[in-house]
């Protein structure tokens, strides 16, 4: 049930970048942009008849880039919009002094 809900997110991100990783991975050597995504908790649920009837999953997508105004940001958002049963929000954009990456973070919810 969970994997079926998450697989389209991973496939969408892999179609955008060859450097899209499930769970955490440090920047590949010499790569100036990469994506990390992961599910992290149950978001909502409905239990009935002693079973879980509906389960929502919450997760994050992190995009690290060294390019200002990187068009991949728009591609990720367009890809999220195209997925069924997924809602999302851009939760953070920050410059990381230590790594010199611009870090975009989205939260997503899958029904």
- Name the phi and psi angles at 40, rounded to 5: -135, -10
Quick one: pLDDT at residue 2? 86
What is residue 52's predicted lDDT score, i.e. its pLDDT? 82
Establish if 12 belongs to a structural domain: yes
- In the three-class reduction of DSSP (H, G, I as helix; E, B as strand; rest coil), residue 6 is classed as helix
Please tell me the total count of domains within the chain: 1
> Has residue 96 been placed in a domain?
no
What is the model's pLDDT at position 51? 87
* Contact residues for 11 (Cβ-Cβ < 8 A; gap 6+): none
**Strands, sheet with 101-110, edge to edge from the N-terminal-most edge strand:** 20-22, 33-48, 51-65, 101-110, 86-96
Q: Does residue 80 lie in a domain region?
A: yes
Low-confidence ranges of the chain (pLDDT < 50): none
Does residue 1 lie in a domain region? yes
Predicted TM-score (pTM) of the model is: 0.92
What's the domain range around 84? 1-36+58-64+76-90+107-111
């Amino acid at each position: 049930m969970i994997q079926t809900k998450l697989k389209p997110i991973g496939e969408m991100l892999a179609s955008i970048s060859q450097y899209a990783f499930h769970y955490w991975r440090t920047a590949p050597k010499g790569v100036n942009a990469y994506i990390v995504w992961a599910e992290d908790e149950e978001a909502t649920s409905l239990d009935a008849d002693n079973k879980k009837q509906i389960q929502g999953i919450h997760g994050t997508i992190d995009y690290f880039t060294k390019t200002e105004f990187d068009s991949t940001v728009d591609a990720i958002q367009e890809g999220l919009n195209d997925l069924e049963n997924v809602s999302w929000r851009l939760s953070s954009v920050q410059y990381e002094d230590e790594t010199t990456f611009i870090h975009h973070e989205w939260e997503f919810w899958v029904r």
